[in-house]
């Protein structure tokens, strides 16, 4: 039987956001959406200026299963959107996945992250 490791979602979300903002020059902001997320699940909408606009497709997050089968197992779900798509999401003209919510959203902007050396 595995011991359960305390899952510090908010702390880990901040770490992931920092890493994504540091390593992907297209990411202009990371929006962490904790509301309705599973117990060991982190949900991000990443606004990326280097991807193509897609308005005909359903927006689906990429599921990064992390540390699967280990005590630290969790899911990182990332929905990449363009700046135009992000505006449409905020105006409720474009849907995000079911059960995702912008309520309680926490934003990690690159200016705050990248300026730290």
Q: What are the sequence ranges of the domains in the chain?
A: 9-110
**Helix or strand run (H / E) with residue 23:** helix 9-23
Question: The CATH number of 9-110 is which of 3.20.20.60, 3.40.50.11240, 3.30.460.10, 3.20.20.140?
Answer: 3.30.460.10
Write out pLDDT tens, residues 49-102: 999 887 666 788 988 877 767 777 888 999 999 999 999 999 999 999 989 999
- How large is the average pLDDT for residues 32-60? 89
Note the pTM of the prediction, 2 decimals: 0.83
- Which of the 8 DSSP states describes residue 15? H
**Helix or strand run (H / E) with residue 48:** strand 41-48
């Amino acid at each position: 039987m595995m011991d359960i490791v305390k899952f510090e979602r908010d702390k880990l979300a901040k770490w992931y956001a920092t890493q994504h903002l540091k390593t992907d020059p297209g990411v202009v902001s990371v929006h962490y959406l904790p509301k309705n997320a599973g117990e060991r699940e982190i949900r991000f909408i990443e606004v990326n200026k280097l991807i193509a606009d897609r308005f005909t497709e359903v927006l689906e997050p990429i599921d990064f299963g992390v540390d699967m089968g280990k005590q630290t197992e969790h899911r990182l779900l990332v929905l990449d959107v363009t700046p135009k798509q992000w505006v449409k999401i905020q105006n409720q003209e474009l849907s995000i996945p079911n059960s995702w919510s912008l309520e309680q959203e926490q934003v990690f902007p690159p200016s705050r992250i990248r300026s730290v050396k």
